[in-house]
Structure 1
Amino acid sequence: MIVLIAILSISLGIGCAKKPVSDDGAAGGAAGTTDGSGQNGSFSSQSVTDATASNVPSSLQRIHFDFDSYVLTSSSKAALEDNAAYLKAHADAKVQIEGHCDERGSDEYNLVLGEKRARATRAYLVSLGIDSRRLSVISFGEERPLDPSSGESAWSKNRRAEFVTR
């Protein structure tokens, strides 16, 4: 009997792994709109290159955010304007916007913050004329760091939104 309880406890612990929060843009309501007001944010951009399932190369720019922020600054908007131009030139490309965080904060908090970053990014692309049906968002929170080390240099790399074309 004790062995059965131990096996059941282990099985429940393994089955309770955290999962990324995702949104394909079809859900409505207030949760689908993020304007980012009340937050401070900035980032730098760098090119991300991915081969996609449709063999469309991506030249979409990765954006980085300040600590605990999801607001797009003028420089982030400039990078997203370049991304919108790319998406307009590749009208068949669909994009998943991935929100990421650094390791600080709880798993739950970082999943929500990563989603807010992805949604703010999507909202700006939609305001630039990109069809929202082409854009999906997902949050990986702190689960997929670019730099696994600790410290401000690593953390600043990990606070980002990335684009995966499909």
Structure 2
Amino acid sequence: MPQNLRVHFAFNSGAMDAQAQQIATQNAQFMVAHPHVQVRLEGNTDDRGTQEYNLALGEQRAETVKQFLQSQGVSAARISTVSFGKDNPLCTTNDSACWARNRRVDFVYSGGYNG
């Protein structure tokens, strides 16, 4: 199992930076090595902005990671996406460090991995 199961995003962005790409690459390599594993990519945002905006941004983030995994050889059939928008925070403090933690996509694995 990859060590990092989360990639973070900049404010109002659906683009992956170099660190996010590195983490996603590690996850893609894991999936290529374990062909029965499936992943659900859960898009999340901080709590600023409307519910509608944040759901769309969370979906954009999850889709960006999905496209990246596909570019690394992972079949789209093994990847699902969901957006929680601002409804699944890791942190609830009203400050920039907390907001940054919440702007993320989580990798949730299932099926076919025996450690």
CA distance in 1, matches of 2:38, 2:51: 28
Q: Alignment partner for residue 93 of structure 1, among 12, 37, 40?
A: 37
Q: Give the deviation of 1:93 after TM superposition.
A: 0.7
Assess if the C-alpha contact under 8 Å between 1:100 and 1:160 holds in 2. Answer: yes
Counting only pairs closer than 5 Å after superposition, residues 37-116 of structure 1 correspond to structure 2 as 59-116=3-60
Secondary structure of the residue aligned to 1:81 is helix
Q: Deviations over 1:126-150 (max 9, x none)?
A: 0000000000000000000000121
Match of 1:163 in 2: 107
Q: How many residues align?
A: 110
Q: Comparing both chains, which one has the higher relative contact order based on Cα–Cα distances under 8 Å and sequence gaps of 6 or more?
A: 2
Q: Deviations over 1:110-161 (max 9, x none)?
A: 0000000000000000000000000000000000000012110110000000
Secondary structure of the residue aligned to 1:69 is coil
Q: Who wins on radius of gyration, i.e. which is larger? A: 1
- Unaligned 5+ segments in structure 2 are 111-115
Q: Deviations over 1:10-30 (max 9, x none)?
A: xxxxxxxxxxxxxxxxxxxxx
Are the structure 2 counterparts of residues 83 and 58 from structure 1 closer, same or farther at C-alpha, using a change threshold of 3 Å?
closer
Amino acid in the other structure paired with 1:103: D
Amino acid in the other structure paired with 1:145: P
Moved more, 73-82 or 87-96: 73-82
Assess if the C-alpha contact under 8 Å between 2:2 and 2:27 holds in 1. Answer: no
Q: 4+ runs of 1 displaced by more than 2 Å? A: 57-61
- Unaligned 5+ segments in structure 1 are 1-56
The reply to whether residue 131 of structure 1 matches residue 84 of structure 2 is no
Assess if the C-alpha contact under 8 Å between 1:60 and 1:86 holds in 2. Answer: no
The reply to whether residue 119 of structure 1 matches residue 63 of structure 2 is yes
Secondary structure of the residue aligned to 1:63 is strand
Match of 1:10 in 2: none
CA distance in 1, matches of 2:4, 2:91: 20
Assess if the C-alpha contact under 8 Å between 1:58 and 1:164 holds in 2. Answer: no
Task: Report the RMSD for the aligned CA atoms in angstroms.
Answer: 1.2
Q: Give the deviation of 1:76 after TM superposition.
A: 1.5
